[in-house]
Chains A and B, each alone.
Chain A
Amino acid sequence: MLKTFKKGGVHPPENKLSAQSTLERLPLPEMVYIPISQHIGSAAEPVVQKGDTVKVGTLIAKQNGLFSANIHSSVSGTVQKIDEIIDSSGFRRKAIIIQVEGDQWEETIDQSNTIVRDIPSDPKEIVQKITSAGIVGLGGATFPTHIKLSIPDGKKAEILIINGVECEPYLTSDHRLMLEKGLEILIGTQILMKALNVHRASIGIENNKKDAIKHLIELSKDFPGINVVALKVKYPQGAEKQLIKAIINREVPSGKLPIDVGAVVQNVGTAFAVYEAVQKNKPLFERVVTITGKNLSKPSNLVVRIGTPIRKLIDFAGGLPDNTAKIINGGPMMGKAVCDIDVPVTKGTSGIVILSEKDAVRLPVQNCIRCAKCVSACPMGLEPYLLMTFGAKQMWSEAETNKVVDCIECGSCSFVCPANRPLLDYIRLGKLTVGKIIRTRKS
């Protein structure tokens, strides 16, 4: 029996169209738009000005407080301006706009293909390198990695969990990375284990990626303490709490963090970025992005410089299909629909999914028939139908007692609802409002 989490979950059509497409490098764009806020926490502070010349890997915005991350230039060229652009959230956000001239890398970066096996022995040095490289969680949540590595007093990490689940339909960037950069991921995992001072790490991979599982099991024989766990295919297994439950059978209590049950979770993409930062001195300025869609002529997995407009990715994959109705930044279950084809790729962009009219249009909402499918689909054991009513009727205190803030916004409820009810829309509203109420109460 394959391991999995117990409560709820759904199985959306996988549609992993690009699973066989090997990683390719996207040609450099003419211009990059690098937002200064690509992570959870406060925006970085620009340290360049209009007219400055930068190289690939030059620090262009520095971390502002602990909850923040450095941002580096992904290209060489001249800073055109620092201005507001529309980013993938749909809001206007400040970005550093750089005109690309050549491809001149910072000399400190090791550009060779040799794999460096020997890892630093000092955890402090590792964390310092990760911090300065501006690494954030690449699974999509973009939580600054250095914060996850500094364990609060009184807590102890027992196990590192590397998230190679990729439970979102369509996306294959982690899958390809595991197949093609497996050794680097394992070294990155070793580095993270050193930084956390743990001796155990599990790499969780869903069983629809059998080749990746086999490959990493083979490689991990040389890495004591690291084991690969094949997981039953079930969405949302890539969610932190569900993955911890699946692998070590512990439930992170409501309002607590993984470290409270002794676990730290990092994405495989993050492990790879950690390898590059620590072993090759390479800051986080590029990442793997899946560009996919049923009507796209060439679904691909691309290594993309941060700040590249997604239009470039779409053009590479064969151009925007005529029947395109929706463009999603991320996977179709949790990703954000973007309003503009020129929004830039950021650290959190794991994929771009192009949906046609047929797949994008929401069907008319009907009465709730109380089928309870949302209740049995909810991986957090909540009652989505009830929380939606509380959200719609603005019954915030009832929403709070029914744990609306525990919602992980995985969308399983809206996905299964036969009456097409916008469950998550209202639950999100409730979660946001109740969250605000709780914060004001505390202060």
Chain B
Amino acid sequence: MKQKFIVSPSPHEKGHDSVRSIMYGVIFSLIPAFAASIYFFGLDALTVTLTAIFSCLVVEFVIQKFLIKGPLTIFDGSAIITGLLLAFNLPASIPLWMVIAGSIVAIGIGKMSFGGLGNNPFNPALVGRVFMLISFPVAMTTWPANRLTLTDGYTGATPLSIAKEAIKNGEPMNEIINKVGTSLNHFIGNMEGCIGEVSALFILLGGLYMLYRGIITWHIPVSIFLTVFIFSGTMHLIAPDRYLSPEFHLLTGGLFLGAIYMATDMVTSPMSSVGMIIFGVGIGLLTVVIRIWGAYPEGVSFAILIMNAFVPLINRYIKPKRFGEEVNHG
């Protein structure tokens, strides 16, 4: 009998990356920020996060099993990431039923209604978050005290909302600066805010790990940071008594979480490096515009969702530079 062999077209070699390894890489990189958040906000941070992860998994399972009746992909790690990132964007004191409602919207509407992983135009965690922000405005904007700031005696507002309120009331800038705390505190995470967004330091660590693993590239985060820095810095230079410093804008209000984790979501960001930079610049501009002139103190989520909508357009018109496009007889 003749021996049979597999005949398939090349390549016959496969790289080591899989969807799973990428997703679990992201989850792994979030561990430091998660640990920090439990330290800052206590067990509430843990229960909210676990509730979000668990509900996201259940929602995806139910939809795949009973509605789509397709293969189960809940263990590819992407639903865990959605849950984690949704929780990271919530205050630790939020009632758990709201977390469940947010998870249903995030996975059900944000992801599965488009056909599951890879097909959703908007970042699912942000869809869930914005749904919650609009539906439960009070619970979503009441922050528990951060363990490090307890002694200061005030709770209930993030540096950004304090600043926005104060600027509106015409308070002098030097008092506002005293009220919102130092940049060093903001960098470490010594401030009020959502579970995972407060510590720029630990998010940066996670981001560096993802960069090292090749899960993200520098284009999106760096273009967001630079745009926010230059734009808010220009405003600050023009009128230092009305606009806060650029480092304040960089380190508060979840810009780090947004730039490193939410905007870099593979599915909802552009494919080419130039496209990624356009996307990042757009997010940076919109964030500062919303923060300075908008109704909300915080603009990152909206900025990312709006730019998500432009991704197909960016992919269509911004092409990578083809080989041989420019002839240089060097």
* A residues whose Cβ falls under 8 Å from a Cβ of B: 7, 10, 12-13, 90, 169, 241, 245, 248-254, 256, 261-262, 320, 324-328, 330, 332-341, 353, 355, 359-363, 366-373, 375-376, 378-383, 385-386, 402-403, 406, 409-412, 414-420, 424-425, 428
Contacts and interface: CB of A to CB of B under 8 A. Distances in A.
21 contacts: A169-B13, A248-B330, A251-B325, A254-B322, A320-B3, A326-B5, A332-B13, A335-B10, A337-B6, A341-B3, A363-B18, A369-B19, A369-B78, A380-B323, A381-B323, A382-B320, A403-B322, A411-B13, A415-B13, A419-B19, A419-B118
Contacts of B266: 369-372
Contact of B18 (A332, A378, A402, A418): A418
Interface residues of B, number: 49
A362 B8 contact: yes
Given A370-B266, A372-B266, A383 B14 contact: no
Given A332-B11, A333-B11, A415-B11, 4 more contacts: A251-B327, A362-B8, A367-B117, A420-B14
Contact of A250 (B18, B19, B78, B328): B328
Contacts of A332: 10-13
A249 B326 CA distance: 12
B9 A425 contact: yes
Interface of B: 2-3, 5-15, 17-19, 21-22, 73, 76, 78, 115-119, 214, 217, 266-273, 315, 319-330
Contacts, number: 182
Nearest to B276: A372
Contact of B324 (A256, A324, A328, A370): A256
B118 A369 contact: yes
Contact of B327 (A253, A330, A409, A425): A253
A367 B119 contact: yes
Nearest to B20: A418
A357 to B, nearest CB: 8
Contacts of B267: 369-370
B7 A366 contact: no
Given A367-B118, A403-B322, A249 B330 contact: yes
B322 A418 contact: no
Contacts of B22: 369, 371, 418
Given A375-B272, A376-B273, A251 B14 contact: no
B272 A372 contact: yes
A421 to B, nearest CB: 10
